[in-house]
A and B are shown apart, each in its own frame.
Chain A
Amino acid sequence: MSDDKGPEFWRWTESNWVNPDIRWQEAQFLTGGIDVGSVSSQAVIMADGVLYAYGNRRTGSDSQTSAQDALNFALEKTDLIQEEVHYFIGTGYGRVNVPMADRTVTEIACHAKGANFMYGPAVRTVLDVGGQDIKAIRCDDTGKVTNFLMNDKCAAGTGRGMEVFSDLLGVPIGDVGARSFEVDKEPPPVSSTCVVYAKSEATDLLRKGWAVNEVLAAYCAAMAERIYSLLERVGIEREFAVTGGIAKNIGVTRRLRKLMGIEPLKTTYDTQLAGAIGAALFGLALCRKGKSRKT
């Protein structure tokens, strides 16, 4: 979407990895999870529920190619071929266009399942804020969703909303978080939820003599409040995990932490893999249940 915009908040490097400790030939079930998002696509291969390989790439212009690209990238460092994988599950915004998928599962279910794996079974509330949506999920100790909502209608609180502000204020998106704390006193949050109106409000504040950092702080605070209100709607329960691009913006996450009074859990896994890992785990569970391929 914003390829031509230079450094951005969602910036990350394409990467692939293979687990050297695993001999895939010994696994009973090899399952793949492919998460095609609006910005990035991930493919993971799990051997009996252990992460074996992954590939993480930028989503191209069409979902089918992006899915295949991510998978090829995941397999690149392995001696595994696609045909050896028993079951593929497609998820994410482009899930209906994942050609190798035996089945699709929503990103909601996959994120909860993936978070349960990555952060442990104590996770009850999962937040995922991407470039274009907000997902608030509550789950049980098995990673099964108990309550969720997804908001992709309105830009408020999403990465896109933050991009609009970074453009307006001429602050590179990667600097927004840090600069939002370079203020003498925390200003009140921008009052408009709507990004269009928040923009005019910000212009008005600048005209009144507010410093750029103060406006950034006011917008980060508004984003935190917006996200908090959506989390409250599904009910906030300990423990709490954050996935998606928002995890990289401390301007929002620190303010959100303050509102919630809960420290988010940490993980050694790349948080971008949550959906794909969840998908691969569903694939494994379905294999074990003896569910046949749909094809």
Chain B
Amino acid sequence: MITAGIDCGAKNTKTIIMKDGTIIGRASAPTGFDQREAVKASLTAALEDAKLDREQLDHIGGTGSGAMSIEEADIKVNDIKSIAASAAYFFRGAHTAADVGAEKTRAVKFDENGSVEDFAVNEKCAAGAGAFIEAMSRALETKLEELGPLALTSEKSIPMNAQCAIFAESEVVGLIHARTPKKDISRAIHDAMAGRIASLIRRIGVNPDVVIMGGVAYNPGFIEALKRELHVDRVCIPEKPEFGAATGAAIVAAQHGR
């Protein structure tokens, strides 16, 4: 069985192509202002990557905040379900997963089959989503991909008072004016964000092997801070973590098609 999973997110639209439980193609396209176009572009590129034609797909699962724009999907998959299915697929034995998206963070507790047992969501506030770190990278005038590694070089933990992304921007500017080293500011940013994500995860219970997906998982500064906040030695990050939910949608589509 060949299925596609499409995750139309606030920032990027990701597509995964799976054949009998193995990923054979993937592609991402910026969502921009036209979700339908983004979905088309992402799916076309993923099919190209898998060297397949559209007709060879048995089913298409659609998920994410823009799921209603995925006209190609014959199966709509709830985003919580996608995350659970994906986390269980990548890490046997894991029971807790968090998907940190650009505008929304979801924490999910699931059983060994990837069925959802519990979940908590943070949305409609940038403080608890990837948008927070992005806004801070602009305030700090440091590239997003450099911000995390920079935080790792800091040995000093300074608290951030502002919780709101807008107020935190001003606080960061204030810290720059006070000649606080950028690395320490960067750590403070990641610590603050990780504290909020950790509190969301704690609401569903922290089991060993917490799976973290979403683009923010690439950020080593965030991951280190999250481990400190959760008091764990490691977290599980799938290869290409931004495709987490898309993978889950492809898996659920295959289960439905069976």
Contacts and interface: CB of A to CB of B under 8 A. Distances in A.
Interface residues of B, number: 14
Nearest to A192: B124
Interface stretch (B74-82, B88-96, B162-170): B162-170
Interface string A181-210: 000000000001111110000001001000
B131 interface: yes
B124 A194 contact: yes
Contact of B167 (A132, A193, A194, A204): A132
B33 A207 contact: yes
Nearest to B132: A196
Instruction: Name the residue among B125, B131, B165 with the largest chain A CB count within 10 angstroms.
Output: B125
Contacts of B164: 153-155, 195
A160 interface: yes
A164 interface: yes
A167 to B, nearest CB: 11
Contacts of A196: 126, 131-132, 135, 165-166
Contacts, number: 37
A197 B126 contact: yes
Nearest to A203: B33
Nearest to A160: B166
Contacts of B191: none
Interface size class of A (residues with CB under 8 A): 10 to 19
Interface string B102-129: 0100000000000000000000111000
A160 B173 CA distance: 15
A81 interface: no
B33 A194 contact: no
Interface in A144-188: 153-155, 160-161, 164
Given A153-B163, A153-B164, A155-B164, A194 B170 contact: no
A194 B126 contact: yes
Contacts of B167: 132, 155, 160
Nearest to B162: A153
A197 B124 contact: yes
A108 to B, nearest CB: 20
A193 B103 CA distance: 13
Interface of B: 33, 103, 124-126, 131-132, 135, 163-167, 170
Give the top 6 A-B pairs by smallest Cβ distance, nearest first. A155-B166, A196-B126, A195-B166, A196-B165, A154-B164, A155-B164
Interface of A: 1, 132, 153-155, 160-161, 164, 192-197, 204, 207
